Amino acid sequence: QKEVEQNSGPLSVPEGAIASLNCTYSDRVSQSFFWYRQYSGKSPELIMSIYSNGDKEDGRFTAQLNKASQYVSLLIRDSQPSDSATYLCAVTWGAQKLVFGQGTRLTINP
């Protein structure tokens, strides 16, 4: 059974602080890893993709991947109230399927 695990939260972070979101996955064969943001009532929006071990930075977002530990994380620096959303970790296995975690609900407090 291919699984992606996330802490459902809610995770509360003060405005301006760093929000840290974590995800573990069960399949060692997984090659591609994604973070999506989903606002209430909306569809997921791609934030980051990462394919190799290490860090990948894009603006205020940094994705970190550790394949040996089967762990991927997302850091949001200088958190803003508009970052309040559910963050979905997704992992591919096989040719093309995405498996989603249950999502972490993040609240940024002004």
Binding mask 36-75 for another protein (x = CB under 8 A): x----xxxxxx--x--------------------------
Instruction: Classify 55 in phi/psi space as left (phi over 0), alpha (psi -120 to 50) or beta.
Output: beta
**In angstroms, rounded to a whole number, what is the distance separating the alpha carbons of residues 21 and 92?**
19
Q: Does 103 engage in binding with another protein (CB under 8 A)? A: yes
Residue 15 CB, nearest approach to another protein (Å)? 25
Residue 17 CB, shortest distance to another protein, in Å, is 26
For binding to another protein (CB under 8 A), which residues are involved?
31-32, 34, 36, 41-46, 49, 88, 92, 96-103
